[in-house]
Amino acid sequence: MELNQLTIKDAHEGLVRRDYSSRELVQAALDGIKKLEPKLNAFITVSDEAALAQADKADKKIKRGEPLEAVTGLPIGIKDLLVTEGIRTTAGSKILERYQPVYTATAVDRLIKAGAVIVGKTNCDEFGMGASGENSAYGPTKNPWDLRRVPGGSSSGSAAAVASGECLLALGTDTGGSIRQPASFCNLVGLKPTYGRVSRYGLISLASSLDQIGIFTRTIEDCAAVLKIIAGQDPNDSTSVKKAVPNYSAEFESDPPTLRLGVPKEYFVPGMDPEVEQITRTAIKKLTELGFSVEEISLPHTPQALAVYYLILPAEASSNLARYDGIRYGLSVEAGAKTLDDVYKKSRKAGFGPEVKRRIMLGTYVLSAGYYDAYYRKAQQVRTLIIEDFQRAFERVDLIITPTSPTPAFALGEKYEDPLTMYLSDIFTVSANIAGLPGLSLPAGFAKGLPVGIQIMASHFQEDKILALAHAYQKETQYYKQTPKT
């Protein structure tokens, strides 16, 4: 088996058995990066020297026979929207091209403390605004399954890097589907945990009430192991929740628990790809055969979710991005500026890309006097109704099964010029962010050779149930064993 196609579990066991060293694993990842980056463009910054030094540290630990964590010595990628001390962090934007953070995001810090080795910072849509990776100021990332197609977004580089073996796992962020949709497009497991399960400290804010850090892996066991490490309360994020972190892997050895599954009728919409619908229905049938009870449910406010999302997101983003003013850090343009106000405007003009400007404008509009009640407050009210839909559903069922995205990976350029069509790509994933629920995308088959995932959602902090069901399904289907030829 090639070293850069290993699961975390296998790589860890290999290190313990001393079949290979951490240096060899990390070198294999760096070789993969060198070979594939001209085609994929999954990384913005590669930190090879620091990575090899970290690998040697891990190897010393192994030699001394010290206890290892699940990720010790393994090469990982970090979305460039998470700050890393000592490694430049751009958020996919020109405005942060030379930004050197003075601290590290808590989730990343926890992985480093567990001995993981960062090989680089992965490409993404600028500030996480996009569903294709094409909004990065550092060029689009390509899908390893088909280089003419997008890997999904906004965590485009994280998905492409894990799928192609440039690293063994990656962190991403998910504000409206930015982990789950690319996981679906790249045949990976992608988890957005419950809002508050993982600290957002050091996540460059897009929409603070929706953002969450999450995980890309090949398998469910790997996802569970990484979640155990990064989850938990953090004094630096007051929205992180003080709640014990369960041992998510504990249940995989025994038979799966009894779980009632719901399939919302509103998630099968006209216009969705017929093969995606077929794959989702086949997956649901498989779950029935595995002994889980399945019933149709209704989430009546689903058709309004995307509109709610595209009001709340730009509103929060326009205020979060006000901090990029060219004064304290980041790109600053003084040429031709007479006043401080001119510096703000010229710096932001030069530093932000078109989608960022579009969403700042939209957010400014919906928050401005006279429109606040009609747009922003209205969206927050419908948000309540969407949450109540889920509360009613979770009285009857434990988990909700849906498609992850209405289509498989689309072609580069196909939706770039039409923002509204691009936004529709998030239609099945935004509700979990609006309600703060955990959601996971899981490989479920292929449509004309392109990966397709299904989504599992649960009530707050019930990641354990999602992982138990996903594990039972994965055990039967094993789609993760198929890897791209790129």
Partner 1 sequence: MPKLKKNEIQHLANLAKLELTEEETKKFQGQLSSILDYVKTLSEVDTAKVEPTAQVTGQVGISRRDEIQKDARQKDILDQAPRREGKNYRVKAVFGK
Binding of partner 1 by 36 (CB under 8 A): no
Among 284, 308, 430, 468, interactor with partner 1 by CB under 8 A:
308
Answer yes or no whether residue 147 interacts with partner 1 by CB under 8 A. no
Q: Specify the stretch interacting with partner 1 by CB under 8 A; choose among 157-165, 350-358, 391-399, 405-413.
A: 350-358
Strand partners, 450: 447
Q: Which of 288, 293, 381, 482 binds partner 1 (CB under 8 A)?
A: 381
385 binds partner 1 (CB under 8 A): yes
* Residue type for position 279: I
51/313 with CB nearer partner 1: 313
> At closest approach, how far in Å is the CB of 257 from partner 1?
24
Q: Which is nearer to partner 1, 109 or 146 (CB)?
A: 109
Nearest to 302 by CA among 457, 71, 462: 457
Active site residue 240: no
Strands 117-122 and 293-297: unpaired
Strand order, beta sheet including 213-217: 43-46, 117-122, 75-79, 169-173, 213-217, 189-192, 439-447, 450-458, 399-403, 260-264, 293-297
Which positions ≥6 away from 290 have C-beta within 8 Å? Answer: 256, 472, 473, 476
Which pair of tokens denotes residue 300?
Answer: 């009546």
Residue with Cβ nearer partner 1 (25 or 343): 343
Residue 317 beta carbon to partner 1: minimum distance, rounded to whole angstroms: 11
DSSP code string of 62-121 = HHTT----TTTT-EEEEETTB-BTTB---TT-GGGTT---SS--HHHHHHHHTT-EEEEE
320 is a site residue for partner 1 (CB under 8 A) = no
170-209 residues in contact with partner 1 (CB under 8 A) are 194-196, 209
Q: How far is the CB of 342 from partner 1 (least distance, A)?
A: 7
457 is a contact residue toward partner 1 (CB under 8 A) = no
Q: Which residue has the tokens 């192609």?
A: 164
C-beta of 344: minimal distance to partner 1 in Å?
Answer: 4
Q: Is position 154 annotated as part of the catalytic site? A: yes
245 binds partner 1 (CB under 8 A): no
Q: Does 100 bind partner 1 (CB under 8 A)?
A: yes
Three-state DSSP at 144 gives coil
Active-site residue flag, 431: no
Phi-psi region of 104 (alpha: psi -120 to 50; beta: other; left: phi over 0): beta
The distance of closest approach from Cβ of residue 250 to partner 1 in the complex, given in angstroms and rounded to an integer, is 24
Residue 364 CB coordination number (10 Å): 15
CA dihedral sign, ordered 337, 341, 347, 350: negative
Which one, of 108, 246, 257, 244, lies nearest residue 172 by Cα? Answer: 108
- Indicate the angle between helix axes 463-477 and 220-230, nearest 10 degrees: 160
Q: Tell me if 379 contacts partner 1 by CB under 8 A.
A: yes
Residue environment code for 34-49, b if the CB has 16+ CB neighbours within 10 A, otherwise e: eebbeebbbbbbbbee
Distance CA 139, CA 42 (A): 9
Residue with Cβ nearer partner 1 (293 or 391): 391
Q: Does 90 help bind partner 1 (rule: CB under 8 A)?
A: no
Query: How many amino acids of this chain bind partner 1 (CB under 8 A)?
Result: 70
Binding of partner 1 by 378 (CB under 8 A): yes
Determine which residue in the list 282, 460, 477, 484 makes contact with partner 1, applying CB under 8 A.
460
Q: Is 109 in the site for partner 1 (CB under 8 A)?
A: no
Whether the CA torsion 99, 105, 107, 109 is positive or negative: it is positive
Residue of 21, 47, 79, 192 marked catalytic: 79
**Given 201, 267, 292, 352, the residue binding partner 1 (CB under 8 A):** 352
Which parts of this chain interact with partner 1 (CB under 8 A)?
Answer: 99-100, 102-103, 194-196, 209, 235, 238-239, 241, 301, 303-304, 307-308, 310-311, 318, 322, 325-330, 332, 334, 337-346, 348-349, 352, 354, 357-358, 360-362, 364-365, 368, 374-375, 377-385, 387, 419-420, 423, 434-436, 460
Provide the annotated active-site residues: 79, 154, 178
